[in-house]
Amino acid sequence: MEIIQKYFPDLSVKQIELFGQLQPLYADWNAKINVISRKDFSEFYERHVLHSLGIAKFIRFTKNTRILDVGTGGGFPGIPLAIMFPDVQFHLVDSIGKKIKVVKNVAEALGLENLTAEQIRAEQLKDKYDFVVSRAVTRLPEFVQWINFNVSRQQRNALPNGILYLKGGDLKDELKPFGRKVFVQELSAYFSERFFETKKVVHLPL
C-alpha cells in the first residue's frame, strides 16, 4: 500500500482506506477463483494496482467521463481507476463470468457506486464511452476492431477520446498501422520500480 501513497501523495482518507482493502479482498477471492497469478500476488500493489494507475498519471479524467474497461479480468485497470476517480463512471466487461463475479463482489465490498460490471463480449456492446481502457488483452489492431464504434464523438477531456492501452515490450510493428496518430508514454517516466522499465500506456485517438 505504501507504494501507492508514494506516487499519489494527495489521496483522500477514503481513497487510502479503499486501496488498503484491495489486497485482503483479492486474497480472499483469489483463493476461490484464480483471477490473479499466484506467483506475483506478493507484488499485488506494484504489478496490478500501481500498473493500473499508470493511466491516472497520464490523464486526469474530468467529472462524468465515461470509461469502458474491456477484458477487465479481475477488475484491472477499472477498479483502481474507479477509486482514484470517484466522479467518473466505469463499466467493466469480460466474457468470463467467474471473473465478473469477482469484480462485482469486490466493487460491492468497497461500495463503489461509480462502477458497473457485465459479462459480455466487447463486440456486443452498443453504448458510447469517452475512453476504452485495457491491459493488453490482444494486439491493438484487433482491439480497435472490437471497440471502434463504442467511442463517443463528444469531447470532455484535454486528451482526445479513444483507447488507453497498458502494454509492455516492443510495440513498433503492432503500432505501425496507426502512424503518427498513436502516442506512447513510458511508465518508467512515472514509476522507478524495475517492473515498469518496459511498460507503457498507449493513447490512440478514435
> Who contacts 23 (Cβ-Cβ below 8 Å, separation ≥6)?
1, 44, 45
Per-residue pLDDT tens over the stretch 118-172:
999 999 999 999 999 999 889 999 999 999 999 999 999 999 999 999 999 999 9
Buried b (16+ CB within 10 A) or exposed e, 83-109: bbbeebbbbbbbeeeebbbbbbbbbee
| pLDDT of amino acid 38 | 81
Q: State the maximum Cα–Cα separation within the chain, in Å, rounded to a whole number.
A: 45
Q: 29-84 pLDDT, tens per residue? A: 999 998 888 888 889 999 999 999 999 999 999 999 999 999 999 999 999 999 99
Q: Which CATH code is given to the segment(s) 2-205?
A: 3.40.50.150
Cα–Cα distances (Å) from 202 to 95, 103, 106, 178, in that order, read 23, 24, 27, 11
Q: How many residues does the chain have?
A: 206
Q: Reduced to 3 states, what is the DSSP secondary structure of residue 148?
A: helix
User: pTM for this structure?
Assistant: 0.97
Residue 54 near residue 166 (C-beta atoms within 8 A): yes
Q: Which helix (DSSP H) or strand (DSSP E) does residue 52 occupy?
A: helix 51-52
Give the pLDDT of residue 136: 82
Chain-centre distance of CA 170, in angstroms?
20
Domain ranges of the chain: 2-205
